[in-house]
Amino acid sequence: MIRPAKMIRQVLSSLFKKPATNLYPFNKFEMPDKFRGKIVFDPELCVGCKLCMKDCPAGAINIKKVGEKKFEAEFDLGKCVYCAQCTETCFKKALKFTGEFELASLDREKLKITFNAKPDDTASK
Amino acid sequence: MHKFTVPIGPQHPALKEPESFNVLLSGERIMKFSARLGYNHRGIEKACEERTYIQNVYLTERVCGICSHAHSSCFVQAVEEIAGLEIPRRANYIRTLVGELERIHSHLLWLGVAGHEVGFDTLLMYAWRDREIVMDILAKLTGNRVNYGINTIGGVRRDINTDQIKDVSKAVKKLKERTEYYVRVAKEEVTLIKRLSGVGVLLPKDVLKLGAVGPTARASGIERDTRKDDPYGAYGELDFRVITDDHNDVYGRTLVRLGELLESYKMISQILENIPEGPITVKAPRKIPAGEAVSRYEAPRGENVHYVKSNGTDKPERVKIRAPTLANIQTVAKMLEDRNLADLPIVIAAIDPCFSCTDRLTLVKDVGHGKGRKMRWEDLHSHSIQWYKARGIDFSDLNKKMEKLLK
């Protein structure tokens, strides 16, 4: 059977429903618990194998040696593609992903974040 | 009647991606249609040669934003074949599950776009609202709405648990209800039937001649589906039908895609019921032994082909990608022969094109000596100005005005 305005009933009933969209900046959206967001680095656990640097598809990680068994990581969030491959490559679990996703910035420099090794330890060596 | 050529693109409000079409018109009728690729070439194949296999999984995933899982699966399948890896059955099932969820989101997206191109924006709004259900499920399963990153060489990266299985079956139930509604809309709504019937006709003999793939071929009655012809993943163990239609036009393509949605729901419930227990990954070597493989995958738009050649190092020697749009773009010229210009947007949209995925490097050769020539950016800039000037288009006055305004 052919009839015009097949969807009209649905459209009219939508008038009395809540909007399907989320009022985003005011109404925060919660991401699922395994969402791959910003990566965090724990300098305590890093052994400096640099496998994460080798596996990162975007070249966003830079691990630097700053002292005896002390490493710091420099991340470029502008390059990161949030695949979280580094968290799986790291066998010491020094890299973890968080659910944080509101990372946009107008300044490129602000996208570069450094996770420093503990300063007091480095100073003593 | 006077004939004239209308360039559409590379930058045009009707196109979502940069691509150049030249349409020779006689009045409203299209006499000749030609497409020129090469405006969005990203050099992914070359970039693959400079990255390790594990990095390439993520790089090939970014060939396409919509069928990202199709490309990464296709690449991973080829690498696994070279390395001789037998991946666990559970991993195969999870890959197939994500692949089918991806097909659902892609087909619902297409339904909305098609509605928009024919001026039926109500369909766009509702189809995309329902698409959010499957996007949320994908985010829950894989950790992202697009570019799921579920594949790795030798299996999948994330397992699914019973809670997620419940979530997926609940979502699929809801989506099935909605899709059945859209099937009723497509079969009964008179504006949609009248607008799409007889538009973009592609006869079965032309499908075979031009080598169309995916829903474009199936809507002309050609049963061509890699999932059935050359089963990969878990498709060999699933019970499903290849949806075909004999309308041969855009209306047929709509019905095929809607029918495929219903088949996908059927497949997903089979996967969720029969998913085997076991590991999700096998250990893959970093260095892949020398060899070559061709892998095929039925993406939402049609057959994807990846060719990988390895040389025993941790980087491939050659990666070749054939996205389905490259096979289908040839058919558009045939579909538009002697049609109205107003049919062009929907006919192009009906193959569900993905121009960035399909883009090739175009090597421009000098007609004089038949050799390639290197040009610097400045030379190219002045060359383009001269090229347009020779055709009576001069932007220099406009540029001066613009500069004044900016000052």
Q: What is the pLDDT of residues B79-111, one digit of tens each?
A: 999 999 999 999 999 999 999 999 999 999 999
Per-residue confidence band for A124, with pLDDT thresholds at 50, 70 and 90: very low
Percentage of chain A lying above the pLDDT 70 cut = 92
Mark whether B317 and B344 lie in a shared domain.
yes
- Pick from B59, B144, B185: CB nearest A57: B59
Helix ranges (DSSP H) in B62-88: 68-83
When scoring A6, A15, A53, A88 by the number of chain B Cβ atoms within 10 A, the one with the most, hence best to mutate, is A6
**Quick one: residue B202, left, alpha or beta (phi over 0 = left, psi -120 to 50 = alpha)?**
beta
| CB B351, CB B331: distance < 8 Å | yes
- Contact A57/B at CB under 8 A: yes
- Nearest Cα neighbor of B41 from B384, B307, B320, B358 is B358
Nearest C-alpha in A relative to B178 = A10
**Structural domain count of chain B:** 2
CA distance A97 to B198: 52
DSSP string, B218-245: HTTT----HHHHS--TTGGGS-------
Q: pLDDT tens, B26-76?
A: 989 999 998 888 888 888 998 999 999 999 999 999 998 898 999 999 999
Instruction: Single out the residue of B219, B205, B208 nearest to residue B254, CA to CA.
Output: B219
| Cα three-residue angle B231-B236-B238, rounded to 5 degrees | 130
Chain A contact for B62 (CB, 8 A cutoff): yes
Instruction: Please give the structure tokens belonging to residue B15.
Output: 């196109």
Indicate whether B232 and B271 sit together in one domain: yes
Residues B268 and B344 in one domain: yes
- For residue B25, is it within any domain? no
Statement to judge: residues B374 and B257 lie in one domain:
no
Q: What is the spatial distance between Cα B403 and Cα B407, in angstroms, rounded to a whole number?
A: 6
Which one of A1, A2, A3, A7 makes the best mutation probe of the B interface by having the most chain B beta carbons within 10 Å?
A: A7
Chain B touched by A7 (CB under 8 Å): yes
Kindly report, residue by residue over A67-103, the tens digit of the pLDDT. 888 899 999 999 999 999 999 999 999 999 988 888 8
- B206: CB partners within 8 A, 6+ apart: B212, B220, B331, B334
Asked whether residue B5 is assigned to any structural domain, the reply reads: no
pLDDT at A122: 47
User: In terms of domains, do B194 and B340 share one?
Assistant: yes
* Phi, psi angles (nearest 5°) of residue A67: 175, -175
The pair phi, psi for residue A71, each rounded to 5°, is -130, 145
The residue among B122, B136, B180 with the most chain A CBs within 10 A of its CB, best to mutate, is: B122
Tell me the C-alpha distance between B350 and B195, whole Å. Answer: 13
Same domain assignment for residues B344 and B383: no
Does some domain include residue B51?
yes
**B287 and B401 share a domain?**
no
B83 located within any domain: yes
∠ Cα B218 B36 B325 (to 5°): 25
Of chain B residues 31-60, which have a CB less than 8 A from chain A?
51-52, 54-59
CB-side exposure of B396: number of CA atoms within 13 Å? 9
Q: What is the pLDDT of residue A2?
A: 64
Q: Residues of B comprising the binding site for Mg(2+)?
A: 45, 321
**Contact residues, chain A, for B111 at CB < 8 Å:** none
Q: Name the residue ranges covered by the structural domains of chain A.
A: 33-120
Residues B247 and B300 in one domain: yes
Q: In what order do the strands lie in the sheet with B316-322?
A: B291-299, B302-310, B316-322
Query: Which residues of B make up each annotated binding site for Fe cation?
Result: 67, 357
Tokens of B198: 């007889």
Pair B80, B308: CB distance under 8 Å: no
Q: Report the pLDDT value the prediction gives residue B50, as an integer from 0 to 100.
A: 92
* Residues with Cβ within 8 Å of residue A4, at least 6 apart in sequence: B189, B190, B191
Query: Is the ipTM above a cut-off of 0.85?
Result: yes
Query: B370 and B343 in one domain?
Result: no
Is 70 exceeded by the pLDDT of residue A55? yes
Residue A100 main-chain phi, psi, to 5 deg: -75, 125
Assign A123 a pLDDT band (cuts: 50, 70, 90): very low
Q: Extract the residue ranges of chain B whose pLDDT is less than 50.
A: none
Residue by residue, DSSP assigns B138-162 as: HHHHHS-SSS---EETTEES----H
Which three-class secondary structure state does DSSP give residue B30? strand
Model confidence at A125: pLDDT above 80: no
Residues B227 and B274 in one domain: yes
User: Could you tell me if residue B28 is inside a domain?
Assistant: no
How far is B222 from chain A, CA to nearest CA, in Å? 27
The shortest CB-CB distance from A32 to any of B59, B139, B188 is to: B139
A106-117: average pLDDT: 86
Distance CA B165, CA B6 (A): 52
Alpha-carbon torsion, ordered A30, A36, A42, A45, to 10 deg: 130
Q: Is the pLDDT of residue A1 over 70?
A: no
Domain housing B84 = 44-358
3-state DSSP assignment of residue B178: helix
The answer to whether A12 contacts chain B (CB < 8 Å) is no
Verify that B176 and B292 share a domain, yes or no. yes
CATH class held by domain A33-120: alpha beta
Give yes or no: residues B94 and B208 share one domain.
yes
CATH classification at residue B207? 1.10.645.10
**In this complex, which of A6, A36, A56 lies closest to B144 when CB atoms are compared?**
A36
- Would you call B287 an interface residue with chain A, using a CB distance cutoff of 8 Å? no
The backbone torsions φ and ψ at residue B140, rounded to the nearest 5 degrees and listed phi first, read: -70, -40
Q: Which of A7, A55, A88 sits opposite B122 (nearest CB)?
A: A7
Comparing CB atoms, the residue among A6, A7, A34 nearest residue B143 is A34
